[in-house]
Amino acid sequence: KPMEGRITDIGPREFTEFLPPVIKANKGKWAYHEILEPGVLVHVGESGDKVFTVRVGAARLMSVTHIREICEIADKHCDGYLRFTTRNNVEFMTDSEDKLAALKEDLASRKFDGGSNKFPVGGTGAGISNIVHTQGWIHCHTPATDASGPVKAVMDTVFSDFQDHRLPAPVRIALACCLNMCGAVHCSDIGIVGIHRKPPMIDHEWTDQLCEIPLAVASCPTAAVRPTKVELDGKKVNTIAIKNERCMYCGNCYTMCPALPISDGEGDGVVIMVGGKVSNRISEPKFSKVVVAYIPNETPRWPTLTKDIKKIVDLYAEHANKYERIGDWIERIGWEKFFELTGFEFSHHLIDDFRDHAYYTWRQTTQFKF
């Protein structure tokens, strides 16, 4: 049905069409909300109406059969309404405690063949919610790591923290499979970022045929790309040259020119960043900082990455004060202590970041002990 005032039918339908009736009726008039148990929330309206939400962990890439099953659950318990959160959780909403009990029972009964729960409930409050991540090897052209693979491996390792509230505060984990950063790694408690470590290869046979050479030159943020000519089969061909010492392996030129592939089995891998957040509770929002400079892509289960992340989460659970996010905790104890506790090797390349007054002082003050 066309919405009033819309002048075309292009784009998604107006979101208010999809709101459950109880949410529509109480929009802007909520009195309070609380978390009843991990993964289950209640919102109470000024009218006394209640909305019970059950948050379920989900994958970012889903099969059609899985989506059909999610829709079947929503039809059965929630009058056909459901929502996907920005962290790829699915939220089923009901308006009574009886319906909530039936929904939870139904979700708990649905298992994979191996016996694990298809629809795990959790991801709220002082725990670990689903991981925001990017496209990875399955879809994008510039990834330095996979997305779904390491995310699955990491989430399996910290899964108990999805289902309970043992942590001092929420821990947000994000993964971006290259520095273009379609994820939220700059502002997450733990960020996993794919990095290339070698310049693009140049396929001179194709540069002139597949690429707008001026565009490839203009795409390089460090001016490492220039036009040139090389001799190929006795003919001079237009191509490009790369000044390797200027290259920061960002892959921008490859985005413009498919004859400059940058993915490399040996060079590619991930870094770990910590301490970012968007909340202004206790302290202002923070950018994350690099604490592990390189881990190779150890497919299929990324054992070093998962071990290091588990270590950070467990140390945080043990040492942080209640309500402190990872960044608040580290700033209270000092970055030197963080490296001592984790055993991560410190180098002068780490924990430096953007040229913002608040951030470029860590390694430059006389208080920094390394």
Distance between CA atoms of 236 and 357, rounded to whole angstroms? 50
Residue 182 in the binding site for ligand SF4 (CB under 6 A): yes
Of residues 256-315, which lie at the interface with ligand SF4 (CB under 6 A)?
262
Q: How far is the CB of 151 from ligand SF4 (least distance, A)?
A: 12
Q: How far is the CB of 268 from ligand SF4 (least distance, A)?
A: 11
Sort strands 269-274 and 190-195 into parallel, antiparallel or unpaired.
antiparallel
The strands making up 190-195's β-sheet, listed across from edge to edge, are 173-176, 190-195, 269-274, 289-296
Distance between CA atoms of 249 and 196, rounded to whole angstroms? 6
Residue number with the shortest CB distance to ligand SF4? 140
Q: How far is the CB of 157 from ligand SF4 (least distance, A)?
A: 22
For 162, the enclosing helix (H) or strand (E) is: helix 159-163
| Amino acid at site 174 | A
Distance between CA atoms of 277 and 295, rounded to whole angstroms? 23
| Beta-bridge partner residues of 94 | 52
Q: How far is the CB of 309 from ligand SF4 (least distance, A)?
A: 19
x/- binding map, residues 101-140, to ligand SF4, per CB under 6 A? Answer: ---------------------------------xx----x
By beta-carbon proximity to ligand SF4, the closer residue of 85 and 180 is 180
Residue 151 in the binding site for ligand SF4 (CB under 6 A): no
The residue count of the chain comes to: 370
Residue 142 in the binding site for ligand SF4 (CB under 6 A): yes
| Beta-bridge partner residues of 30 | 45
Q: How far is the CB of 38 from ligand SF4 (least distance, A)?
A: 30
- What is residue 19's three-state secondary structure? coil
By beta-carbon proximity to ligand SF4, the closer residue of 169 and 178 is 178
By beta-carbon proximity to ligand SF4, the closer residue of 120 and 191 is 191
- What CA–CA distances, in Å, run from 315 to 168, 311, 320? 11, 6, 8
Residue 181 in the binding site for ligand SF4 (CB under 6 A): yes
Handedness of CA 92, 69, 131, 56 (dihedral sign): positive
Residue 19 in the binding site for ligand SF4 (CB under 6 A): no
By beta-carbon proximity to ligand SF4, the closer residue of 107 and 272 is 272
- What CA–CA distances, in Å, run from 23 to 102, 212, 262? 20, 51, 48
| Interaction site with ligand SF4 (CB under 6 A) | 134-135, 140, 142-143, 176-178, 180-182, 199-200, 219-220, 222, 224-225, 242, 247-253, 262
